[in-house]
Amino acid sequence: MFVSILRQGDFLIASIHAALDDTELVRFQEDVIRRIGELRARGVIIDIAALDVLDSFGSSCLRDLAVMARLRGAVTVIVGIQPDVAFAIVKLGMTIDIYTALDLEEGLDLLEAVTIGNRAGGSSLRALSE
């Protein structure tokens, strides 16, 4: 498999290291959701820096993953979106309404801020993300 799902404190770091086909993507999605439950993670970082292209299926997969993670009590941050991928996502109208950050480090900072906000009370979540 070209993915890794690592644990870092309360967070999961899931990295995609090479282009995945649709089946692999769905399997990756399931693995991450399962691990969230097993490890009681409060946040997930998905690192897609290795992806040079992202099609509509891939982006909807990531969005679904974020929604499912939310339902299981974890916040998702997608990091390492390449310039071309970012523009393609926007251009194809597949705006992902979830947290994004430049790289892993930024993502961890953002997750840290967002989950503290969660603890203090859900209302501040939106403000912190802006």
Output the smallest distance, CB 77 to other proteins, in A.
9
- Rounded-to-integer distance, Cα 127 and Cα 130, Å: 6
Return the number of the residue (35 or 124) whose C-beta is nearest other proteins.
Answer: 124
Read off the DSSP letter of residue 52: S
CA distance 118 to 125: 6
Query: For residues 13 and 79, which CB has a smaller minimum distance to other proteins in the complex?
Result: 79
In whole angstroms, the minimum distance from the beta carbon of 44 to other proteins comes to 16
Contact pattern for other proteins over residues 15 through 34, marking x by CB under 8 A:
--------------------
Q: Are 99 and 78 in contact (CB under 8 A)?
A: yes
Per-residue mark of binding to other proteins, 63-102 (x: CB under 8 A): ---------------xx-xxxx-xx-xxx---xx---xxx
Judge residue 90's burial from the number of C-beta atoms within 10 Å of its C-beta, 0-12 exposed, 13-18 middle, 19 or more buried: exposed
User: Which strand (E) or helix (H) includes residue 124?
Assistant: helix 124-129
Give contact residues for other proteins (rule: CB under 8 A): 78-79, 81-84, 86-87, 89-91, 95-96, 100-103, 106, 110, 130
